[in-house]
Amino acid sequence: MPHLVLLAIAAAMALVAGVKHLSTEEALRVAFDGEAPTDDRLWAAHVAANRAVARDPRLGDALVRAFLAADDERLREGALTIDLSRHAIHPPGARPDAAPPLQSAYVYAALEGGEYTPHRVRSRVLFRRKVGGSSVGGIRRMALPEARWFMDSLRGTPLPPREEIDRYLIERSREPVNLRKPR
Amino acid sequence: MSTDTSPSASAAVGRALARAPWGTIATIAFVGVALRGLLLWLVLPLDIQSDEANYLYLALAKERLGIYYDQHRYFWPPGYPWLLSKSIHAFGIEGLNVLRAFQVALSSVIGVTTMLFAWRLFSRRAAIVAGVIWAVDLPLGAYTHFLWTETVFLSLLLPALWHFVRALDLADEGDDLGATRRLLLSGVLFGVALYIKEYVLFLVPVFAAVVALRSRGAGWQEALRRASLPVLAVAVVTLPWTLRNHEVYGRTVVGGATLGENVFVGLNARSMNFDVLPLRKRRADLGLPQIETLARTSFTEVPAGWVPEDRDGNGEIEVRDAGWDREFDAIHAIDRHSSQLRAGLAFAAEHPAWTLRTRLKKWSELVTPLSFFTRHQAMAMYPEGGVVAGALRGPLVFLALAVSTLTMLLGAAGYFLTLRRGPCRAVFTVLIGYVVLTSLLVAMSRFRVPLEPVLIVMTAGLLAHGPQDRSRSRVVGLAVTLLVLTGLWWISWPETVAAAQMALGVTR
């Protein structure tokens, strides 16, 4: 009897998953749809980027540009995550795990107004501290101050002055290369 | 003392379970939790380190974007980042400490289950001894203030094992309904544990085989019915995540996907000891030679005749230049497994002598008396000026080293000389074998954690009752085990001493 109940539960879950299934074509359409809700676009991009088994310029270039040009900060931050970064189109001769150029240009662009906005802080953290290392953005892991700034930025708590953030980021980036953990 | 040998004995255990010394167990569990709570209070504020940062990154991304991302080189199960995201959502960055406090409270489950195992196998006295050892087990207790999965995982794994053993007991008693319920519960707990760590993915089928073998007297159809129950329960509990993965990736991924990266790390030219690797920066700051230069090279050097290439393109040939590189064409971690597994196995087959000596090194790293507590001390992660990094540093590090060493030694003796035959011994043996075999790829003290409660139980049995069976086979088994253990300690002795000195702060 328990076997039958378990199998029935499994069948029900599979049925629900089948009904909610999003085709890859539909995912791509939603991801590019400027009128679609942000959550739907982020999820669609997630699905499309992970189903693609090879680098896809539609995702690594066109969709990244679309997200980075969006008004919604969440969409812009969504362009900086692993999903789209690993579809980046690199210039000839670059290592396949080099930092994605579009996202790098966005994250390291000059600060508007001379201060880090909450979005700029989140962008730095999301892009530079990706889990897993250098291939998709940053080689060093996140430390507590960045996590604190990230959460402060979401909760509306004032961020430290630019000098403090810059000093911290520069110090971290200057950690000697030969002391890194082996790749 | 229960003998744990026959169905009638199992029945006696079942009847006696109602008389478990719950008052004593609860009291000791409370003391153990209080000690862990005190330790947490003493070590705050605590920065994040290594994989803790990766878990937190995933939680932050989930909090902001609502999506669980993979880790590029790994694909971890979502449970722990989910817990973190819930905690930081509710409490901001203080949520990290709230989760640590939650882990302190949750560790009571580990303590209680450890004592229950000792009580079921041996006696009330053994349960008390096990509880006391658990309470002061610093290597285990320290995980309550780390943002690693170990505490949450063990809090699910141990009850799963407990109910599994009880199911075997009840089946022996002829209580089919009771056994079915326990198997179901055990499977559900294993399934939930898979959301935290995919470690048990291949353990459950092995346990199912144990059920089938022990139930063969009831006929193979009944044996199959019983054996399939925990597997089916695990499949159903993990199905939402599996279906989600199928939706996202278009491929089936059960639990997580870490094999490819572990093969890259473990079956590759360079030697990576994760109990000492993070100490590199600290040693450079202190002007000390790097620990890998102290290692016994017979067990770490690259294969004879193998010519390293400058794979990272930094202009230098270093040990960190791998024997083979990651699969760059496959952009997703889940797709790198097969090719990396092939590359790793080919590399191992090409260099059999290297494979053998480096596997001994892996096992040596599994049984090192070091722990992540001593690693944190060695890295100077605990607050400077605080009591844990200050006045109590030496005693605590000695305690951590002593607990690890003694539970391995006495636990081995307890396993051979005190633990009787029966379902619990079979389950413990399978678990020990599983941990030992999975450590052939990558090993460190953290991978010993699933065994630590088992070692505590067996140590407690020995201390409470002494040797009960001195038959020749058991004595020889113990002698061989101790010989192997000593040899494995010898292999990594230079790194162990260097790391322990750093933990003690005697290198300054």
Peptide bond into B45 cis (omega under 30): yes
How far, in Å, CA of A100 to CA of A60, rounded? 9
Question: Cβ contact (<8 Å) for A47 and B328?
Answer: no
| Chain B residues whose beta carbon lies within 8 Å of the beta carbon of residue A3 | 225, 228-229, 232
Residue A137, φ and ψ in degrees, nearest 5: 150, -65
Closest Cβ opposite residue A83 in set B69, B233, B320? B69
Per-residue pLDDT, B255: 86
Tell me the Ramachandran region of residue B27: left when phi exceeds 0, alpha when psi lies from -120 to 50, beta otherwise.
alpha
Question: Cβ contact (<8 Å) for B64 and A14?
Answer: no
Closest Cβ opposite residue B331 in set A6, A86, A143? A86
Q: Residue A127: pLDDT above 50?
A: yes
Residue B317, φ and ψ in degrees, nearest 5: -90, 115
- For residue B313, the tally of other CB atoms under 10 A from its CB is 9
* A58 burial type by CB count under 10 A (0-12 exposed, 13-18 middle, 19+ buried): middle
Q: Does B23 touch chain A (CB under 8 A)?
A: no
On the CB side of B345, how many CA atoms lie within 13 Å of its CA?
8
Closest Cβ opposite residue B71 in set A3, A52, A131? A131
Closest Cβ opposite residue A13 in set B233, B243, B332? B243
Closest Cβ opposite residue B65 in set A77, A151, A182? A77
- Coil, helix or strand for B257? strand
| Chain B residues whose beta carbon lies within 8 Å of the beta carbon of residue A129 | 53, 57
Question: Cβ contact (<8 Å) for B53 and A141?
Answer: yes
Per-residue pLDDT, B338: 87
CA dihedral of B482, B483, B486, B487, whole degrees rounded to 10: -150
Per-residue pLDDT, B3: 42
How far, in Å, CA of B283 to CA of A179, rounded? 10
> What DSSP line would sit under B387-406, residue for residue?
TTTTTTHHHHHHHHHHHHHH
Write the pLDDT tens digit of every residue in B88-120: 999 999 999 999 999 999 999 999 999 999 999
Residue A179 in tokens: 């002391």
- Coil, helix or strand for B214? helix
Q: Residue A138: pLDDT above 70?
A: no
Residue B280 in tokens: 């590199």
Q: Is the dihedral of CA B451, B456, B461, B463 positive or negative?
A: positive
Give whole-number Cα distances, A42 to A27, A30, A31, A152, in Å: 10, 9, 7, 23
Low-confidence ranges of chain B (pLDDT < 70): 1-18, 310-321, 508
| Chain B residues whose beta carbon lies within 8 Å of the beta carbon of residue A151 | 60, 63, 88, 92-93
In terms of CA atoms, which chain A residue is nearest residue B87? A151
Q: ipTM, 2 decimals?
A: 0.94
Per-residue pLDDT, B216: 86
Gyration radius of chain A's alpha carbons: 20
- Coil, helix or strand for B370? coil
Per-residue pLDDT, B314: 65
Per-residue pLDDT, B1: 41
How far, in Å, CA of B16 to CA of B10, rounded? 10
Q: Residue A133: pLDDT above 60?
A: no
Per-residue pLDDT, A158: 93
Residue B75 pairs in a beta bridge with B257
| Chain B residues whose beta carbon lies within 8 Å of the beta carbon of residue A122 | 64
Question: Cβ contact (<8 Å) for A6 and B88?
Answer: no
Per-residue pLDDT, A136: 57
Per-residue pLDDT, A156: 93
Mean pLDDT, to the nearest integer, of A48-75?
Answer: 96
Per-residue pLDDT, B19: 81
Question: Cβ contact (<8 Å) for A144 and B48?
Answer: yes
How far, in Å, CA of B67 to CA of B88, rounded? 15
Per-residue pLDDT, A179: 45
Is residue B176 within 8 A of residue A1, CB to CB? The reply is no
Task: State in Å, rounded, how far the first CA of chain A is from the last one.
Answer: 51
Closest Cβ opposite residue A3 in set B228, B244, B313? B228
Own/partner pairs, B382-389, CB within 8 angstroms, 24+ separation: B382/B43, B382/B46, B383/B43, B383/B44, B383/B45, B383/B46, B386/B42, B386/B43, B387/B42, B388/B39, B388/B42, B388/B43
Own/partner pairs, B218-225, CB within 8 angstroms, 24+ separation: B218/B171, B225/A3
Share of chain A above pLDDT 90, in %: 70
How far, in Å, CA of B433 to CA of B20, rounded? 29
Q: Does B387 touch chain A (CB under 8 A)?
A: no
In terms of CA atoms, which chain B residue is nearest residue A78? B65
Chain A neighbours among B 253-292 (CB < 8 Å)?
270, 272, 277-278, 280-281, 284
Alpha helices in A69-135 (DSSP H): 73-78, 82-85, 101-107, 118-128
In terms of CA atoms, which chain B residue is nearest residue A80? B61
- d(CA B2, nearest CA chain A) in Å: 32
Residue B257, φ and ψ in degrees, nearest 5: -145, 100
Closest Cβ opposite residue B67 in set A2, A42, A130? A42
Question: Cβ contact (<8 Å) for A136 and B72?
Answer: yes
